[in-house]
Each structure stands twice: as structure tokens, then as C-alpha cells.
Amino acid sequence: MLKYKKSSEQGNVFIELALVMPILILLVAGIIQFGFILNAKVAVNSASYEAARAATLSDKPELDAANSALSYAYSTLPGWSFDERLSLKVDVSGTDPGDIVQVEVIYKVPVFFSKISPFSMFEDGYAEVCGSSAMSIEEKE
């Protein structure tokens, strides 16, 4: 009579884990990266709104828009400052009531895996997130 040996499946589990784990790690990292980009998008949209609102109520719209955007950025995502990753464009058509103020806030979010194929569209390692708002200057009391 022939005796069959029970094969150990423990080796198969490690091989399957080795095949699945890199894909799982990449998937989780992509989800986390998407969360960072989405958070930055919400922050730049809100910062541009706050800056436009401050500019419409001010006698010095450019200066107050920049200060408002920067203070909002600091309160939302610590570490923001006007450098190569955060920029602000303020366009004021005039200072009379009814004139338009346009504010655009641009922030570059670092991409974790910019050298890996699915994320290689970010050549410089950053995803640019932009938020803009336009408002009319209000009559001052």
C-alpha cells in the first residue's frame, strides 16, 4: 500500500502573500494619496473664497486677499506658506462697487509614488490643485 504525504500549504500562503502584498500596498497608498489631494482641493477652494470675500470688503484688496488666503491656509493645513508650492493670483478690475475681484489659489501636493507607472503623469512629483473665486466689490458703509 502506498502512503501519501500531506503537503504543507504554509509555503503556498507565503507565495500568495508575496504576490498580493505589493498590489495591496499600492492600492492603499493610492487611496491615501487621493485623500491628501482631495483635502488640498477643499482647502484651496475655501481659501480662494475667503480671499475673494476679504478683498471685496477691503480698501486694499490685493493685500487683504493675500493675508486672508494665507491665514486660512495656515489654519487648515499647517505648513502652508507662499513659496514654490503655494501661489496666489488676485485680479481686481477696479475699486468701485460692482467691480469684480478674481482670486486663484494654486497649491502643489507632493505625490508619493511619482516614479511608478500609474502616477507617472506627475513628472515633477507634485499634483497641482487650483481653486478660484470671483466676487463683486460691495459698497462700503
Burial class (CB in 10 A: 0-12, 13-18, 19+), 47: buried
CA dihedral of 7, 9, 15, 21, whole degrees rounded to 10:
170
In a domain, 4, yes or no: no
Q: Using the predicted structure, report yes or no on whether residue 80 has a pLDDT greater than 80.
A: no
State the residue for C-alpha cell 490685493: 62
Query: What's the domain range around 55?
Result: 12-136
Q: Please indicate whether residue 104 or residue 112 has the higher confidence score (pLDDT).
A: 104
**Who contacts 85 (Cβ-Cβ below 8 Å, separation ≥6)?**
107, 108, 126
In a domain, 110, yes or no: yes
The domain total for the chain is 1
In a domain, 56, yes or no: yes
In a domain, 71, yes or no: yes
In a domain, 35, yes or no: yes
Q: If residue 64 lies in a helix (H) or strand (E), which one and from where to where? A: helix 61-76
In a domain, 47, yes or no: yes
**Who contacts 106 (Cβ-Cβ below 8 Å, separation ≥6)?**
44, 86, 87, 88, 89, 128, 129, 130
In a domain, 24, yes or no: yes
In a domain, 5, yes or no: no
Q: Using the predicted structure, report yes or no on whether residue 74 has a pLDDT greater than 70.
A: yes
Burial class (CB in 10 A: 0-12, 13-18, 19+), 52: buried
Distance CA(23)–CA(46), nearest Å, equals: 35
CB atoms within 10 A of CB 111: 20
Distance CA(79)–CA(73), nearest Å, equals: 8
pLDDT for residue 7: 57
Distance CA(130)–CA(114), nearest Å, equals: 19
Per-residue pLDDT tens for 16-64?
888 999 999 988 988 998 998 899 999 999 999 999 999 888 888 888 8
